[in-house]
Structure 1
Amino acid sequence: MTSPIENGRGSLNSKSLVQGHRFALSKIYDVAIVGAGIVGLATVLELTTRYPRLRIIVLDKEKQIANHQSGHNSGVIHSGVYYRPGSLKARFCVQGAADIVRFCQSHKIPHAICGKLIIATVEDQRPALEELHRRAIANRVSGVRILGPEELREFEPHATGVAALLVPGAGITAYRRVAEKFAELALAAGAEIVTESEVHAIRANNGDFLLETSSGEIQSRFFINCAGLHSDRIARMTGAQLPVRIIPFRGEYYQLSPEKSALVRSLIYPVPDPRFPFLGVHFTRRITGEVEAGPNAVLAMRREGYRKSDFSVEDVSDQLSFPGFWRMAAKYWKTGCAEMYRSFSKPAFVRALQTLIPEIGEADVVPGGSGVRAQAVDRT
């Protein structure tokens, strides 16, 4: 039996998660949130908790909530190792990790604190590994320490490297389940969530916002943009002059065969390449027990381009017309070409995995899913 959250219909405490709902033109909301991914749903839950009298509506163009980045990710609960000390990313990651674990515990959402190894496979990577250790300590990530080759194998017997950073508090969960629970609680608190309602325009109206959607018009005192892959376009609808544009990158995964999944106990990451804003191909044990390998990071030709063949003239034109795209391409073209090569070459992908677990062979992995990351690129 499917839940109201899973199929986009049904009711919960007299409030519906409905599809294509036609709005009453006379109804004015206090807050309208565009985007029913995990960010938009966390936002509506927090607002309904703090301000229960507010009339809040969440709009999403898809049939289901959490349909894109929130539902296409590896499920990792990151710990705050990578971010510059004192930055908002560092603060929010450390606090968010603790919050999400407590939330999963409170609502019986599957999760596990399995730990993570970030492995330096060659001596040249040791300084970068030590810098990650320094950042983790500065960000107050608990329990982190450097391991030597023998200690590394005690934690992950099939992995190899010259040193590793152990992050014992890293974990995994099912973020779509988290998003569904956010939605369920927000609906119970009186919020409205309407799917299949794409926003086409946003206008000012006597100090309020008038949102033109595929389900009609709504008026709201406040507007919050949580539109993920389309957040820059939604922002431009308000007349905002943005210094950034969303550039989509597809991440493609392989999955270890059931016979080889025992090679990975937890999360195994490489030391990230400082020249590239991604973490590199890695091994992730999912909450369901499967082990994913990946992702790579290749430029997508469509903002929701989960397949290599996906293409959108509008999305590609958006990329090519933005000066920041060309500066990014000039800076990262070598790494980008290597990522593209791995996308089309299974042997090349497997060779990257073998730097972490040499036992992995081409026969041990099968194509898995994919996700698209909204990379906010500025003009510089």
Structure 2
Amino acid sequence: MQKVDCLIVGGGILGVAVARHLQSTFSHLKCLLVEKENGLAKHQTGHNSGVIHAGIYYKTDSLKAKLCIEGLKRIYEYCDANHLPYKKCGKLIVAVERDQLERLDNIYRQATENGVQDVKMLDSNQIREIEPNCRGIRALHSPHTGIIDYGLLCRHFGKSFEQLGGRIVFNFEAEKFLSSDDASYPILVKSKTNSALLSRYVITCGGLQADQLAVACGGSKHPTIVPFRGDYLLLKKSNKDELKINGNIYPVPDPRFPFLGVHFTPRMDGSIWLGPNAVLSMKREGYGLFDFNVRDTIDHALNRGLRKLAWKHMSYGFGEMRRAYSLSATVRELQKFVPALTVKDVERGPSGIRAQALSTDGNLVEDFIFETVNTGQLKNRILHVRNAPSPAATSSLPIADMIVAKAKECFNLE
């Protein structure tokens, strides 16, 4: 049976960044990353909008703000050093109604306090200079916000991990974490296909499966991971020149609701994504409008925190569901920023699933949550990353540093 020093579970950008940094920091360790799919970046990493965020929205001096700002800088540096493509296309946060101006001013003040570089406020004429098809009263401009193919970046992290001496195994869905009879390799990890290996230590970065991986080790059921699907529209290729979008166009977020709202996002392949909405998915990894899983649906029904969240945001939820099935409802929201857009200009595009940690009181968990097994033979041998909140992709490199530092402390690595 294969024996390794440290097993990393999860082939999304965070798991691969952690594996790469762990192998680089502790070169004497034999590290192995396992992924249940047949390649890296198959879920959240490969289905997100690809925005490199600048750290605008997050509370001053918060960990999320600091990690995002550092993450942006390090992604650009990594891409430059390794000749990976990205675009600094910028971002506008546009106020289209006067009651949004105070919120926009607060965001601007917060962004400057966070140290976001070169942000400035634009008037309606300056908005049109950057985005000729966009209309608004005022807008916050972030020129260093960018776009990237996070799947490509994740796979490059994986290549770097392997060059450092690590190994990646696909089609291994870790299901059981048991005590072994080998004192030197005390963790027996079994997959759903009965493959097995032994490890000294385990780090899980399971994303949509984070809570289930923790429970499989005897950990807490809470916080639970609730999957929210975001459906995008695409600007038709025949209309891209006429309705040219140069950079990201975002609304002023409403603090009463948990998501940012629909926006315009250019992609590295030249396409323009419009959206997304945010609806509860009846399947953890279900990207279709009608995807359904019995177990996941029952879990939702029994989730007390989810019932509280749904009750608190019922009207918002119905609006998001309407936009999931109605192109015209989504286009009406987008027309607030680009009035020339019509239903004829768009078609249905891809969808992504966001792993949202939810507490029992019905609040979305915005903090980082780590959990260790602290009883029996596996005590201080397994570290679960139960929540690494957005913008985790942008912040993946500094978050990986933080997780490896936590693992060093937990596992007493030298």
With normalisation by structure 2, the TM-score equals 0.84
Q: How does 1:121-132 map to 2 (within 5 A)?
A: 121-132=96-107
Q: Tell me if the contact between 2:233 and 2:350 (Cα under 8 Å) persists in the aligned partners.
A: yes
**1:215, CA displacement in angstroms?**
5.4
**Aligned mate of 2:302, from 309, 317, 321:** 321
Alignment partner of 1:305: what SS? coil
Provide the rounded CA distance (Å) in 1 between the counterparts of 2:14 and 2:186: 23
What is the DSSP-based 3-state SS (H/G/I as helix, E as strand, rest coil) of the residue aligned with 1:324? helix
Deviation at 1:259, TM superposition (A): 3.5
Partner of 1:358: 339
Q: C-alpha offsets along residues 172-227 of structure 1, whole Å, 9 cap, x if unaligned? A: 01111101101111111111111100111112345832211135222222211111
Q: The residue matched to 2:331 in structure 1 has which SS?
A: helix
Q: Offset of 1:243 from its aligned partner? A: 2.9
Distance 2:330 2:178 in 1: 47
The partner residue of 2:217 within 207, 221, 238 is: 238
Tell me what 2:50 maps to: 75
Contact 2:65/2:114, CA 8 A, preserved across alignment: yes
Runs of 4+ residues over 3 Å off in structure 1: 204-208
1:89 to partner: Cα distance: 1.1
Gap regions ≥5 residues in structure 2? 362-414
Q: Please state if 1:196 is matched with 2:157.
A: no
**Who is 2:254 aligned against?**
273
Alignment partner, residue 119 of structure 1: 94
For 1:216, the equivalent position in structure 2 comes to: 195
- State the distance in 2 between where 1:317 and 1:204 align: 31
CA–CA distance in structure 2, aligned partners of residues 259 and 131 of structure 1: 39
- Write the distance in 2 (CA, Å) between the matches of 1:55 and 1:371: 34
Q: Is the 8 A contact 1:30 1:54 kept in 2?
A: yes
Which one of 48, 57, 62 corresponds to residue 87 of structure 1?
Answer: 62
Displacement after TM superposition at 1:242 (Å): 4.1
Kept in 1: contact 2:50–2:148 (CA 8 A) = yes
- Retained in 2: the 8 A contact 1:198–1:215? no
Q: Is the 8 A contact 2:211 2:222 kept in 1?
A: no
Partner residue of 2:321 out of 335, 340, 344? 340
Contact 1:122 1:162 in 2 (8 A): yes
| Counterpart Cα distance in 2 of 1:276 and 1:108 | 39
CA deviation map 1:95-152 (0-9, x unaligned):
1111111111111111011110000110111111111112211211001111111111
Q: Distance in 2 between matches of 1:204 and 1:323?
A: 32
Instruction: Classify the secondary structure of the residue corresponding to 1:194.
Output: strand
Q: Partner residue of 1:284?
A: 265
Matched residue, 1:11: none
Task: Report the residue type matching 1:243 in the other structure.
Answer: H
Aligned pair 1:373/2:351, yes or no? no
Q: Which letter maps to 2:114?
A: N
1:305 and 2:286 aligned: yes
CA RMSD of aligned residues (A): 1.3
DSSP-derived class of the 1:366 partner: strand
CA distance in 1, matches of 2:54, 2:314: 30
Who is 2:404 aligned against? none
Map 1:39-188; keep pairs closer than 5 Å.
39-188=14-163
Which residue identity is paired with 2:157? F
State the partner residue of 1:7.
none
